[in-house]
């Protein structure tokens, strides 16, 4: 499969390189990362049942915490056995000490564990401790490490990757438009870029909305 740089160049007609001409490869990398977030958030708003397509599961057996990505699907904790696992309820990080105090009304045991977020990490109460009492966190994975030279996205359905390329193409054309001072020499070029930009925006919105329609209705009308 072509790199995202090549895909965006094909959609926009622009040349993207390291020369410093807008859009740069660095800018494209940022547009792609932003596109991943936009596509994920909009798809799961339209089709919540597909959230697991964008998910990753991590375990913590030493209470070191699991990095929080911004959209938790579930937090579980094994209960003295890898065959017994309990759902953790969210608690405030301010209550994390009370949650370990057996005399507190906020106490959390292995029978009703909780979790909290502190310094962008997820921790469970009781604390994870070994493979039989580890924390298991499933959350949406936003691949913010995506680069212009990549041709695929981690933890991301291949059928939606073209939408990320379209998003990045739109942002690339917007960046190109912004660098022009419109005068008589630029008018035709700016008009051509604007036409392509508007077409891509309409197509992107149509494709996103179409993803939320039941199968068999997308091509009707």
Strand arrangement, sheet containing 72-78: 55-60, 135-140, 72-78, 85-87
Asked whether residue 158 is assigned to any structural domain, the reply reads: no
* 16 and 80 share one domain: no
Q: 122 forms bridges with which residues in the sheet?
A: 66, 117
At residue 221, the pLDDT reads: 44
* 76 and 120 share one domain: yes
Structural domain that includes position 84: 54-140
Q: Is 12 left (phi over 0), alpha (psi -120 to 50) or beta?
A: alpha
Which helix (H) or strand (E) segment is 86 a member of? Answer: strand 85-87
- CA torsion angle 85 91 93 96 (round to 10): -70
Q: Are 169 and 12 in contact (CB under 8 A)?
A: yes
Last residue of a domain, one of 140, 171, 198: 140
The upper half-sphere exposure of residue 130, i.e. CA atoms within 13 Å in the direction of its Cβ, equals: 5
What pTM value is reported for the model?
0.83
* 80 and 95 share one domain: yes
Local confidence band at 149 (pLDDT 50, 70, 90 cut-offs): very high
Give the whole-angstrom CA distance, residue 102 versus residue 84.
Answer: 23
Structure token pair of residue 35:
């596109």
Domain count, the chain: 2
* 24 and 48 share one domain: yes
- Which segments of 14-75 does DSSP mark as H helices, in order? 25-46
* 86 and 62 share one domain: yes
User: In terms of residues, how long is the chain?
Assistant: 221
Q: Which tens digit of pLDDT belongs to each residue from 46-62?
A: 999 999 999 999 999 99
* 58 and 134 share one domain: yes
Q: Which tens digit of pLDDT belongs to each residue from 172-186?
A: 999 998 887 655 567
Mean pLDDT, to the nearest integer, of 156-185? Answer: 87
Burial 28-64 (b: 16+ CB within 10 A, else e): bbbbbbbbbbbbbebbbeeeeebbebbbeeeebeeee
């Amino acid at each position: 499969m072509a790199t995202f740089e090549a895909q965006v160049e094909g959609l926009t007609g622009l040349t993207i390189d390291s020369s410093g001409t807008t859009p740069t490869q660095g800018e494209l990398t940022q547009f792609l990362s932003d596109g991943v977030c936009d596509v994920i958030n909009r798809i799961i708003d339209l089709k919540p049942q597909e959230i697991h397509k964008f998910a990753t599961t991590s375990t913590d057996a030493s209470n070191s915490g699991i990095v929080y990505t911004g959209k938790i699907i579930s937090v579980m904790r094994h209960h003295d056995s890898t065959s017994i696992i309990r759902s953790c309820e969210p608690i405030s990080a301010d209550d994390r000490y009370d949650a370990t105090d057996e005399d507190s009304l906020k106490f959390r045991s292995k029978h009703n564990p909780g979790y909290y977020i502190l310094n962008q990490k997820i921790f469970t109460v009781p604390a994870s401790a070994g493979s039989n009492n580890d924390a298991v966190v499933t959350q949406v994975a936003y691949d913010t490490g995506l680069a212009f030279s990549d041709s695929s996205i981690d933890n991301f359905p291949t059928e939606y990757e073209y939408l990320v390329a379209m998003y990045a193409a739109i942002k690339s054309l917007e960046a190109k438009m912004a660098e022009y001072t419109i005068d008589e020499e630029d008018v035709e070029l700016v008009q051509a870029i604007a036409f392509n930009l508007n077409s891509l925006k309409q197509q992107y919105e149509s494709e996103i909305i179409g993803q939320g329609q039941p199968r068999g209705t997308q091509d009707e009308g």
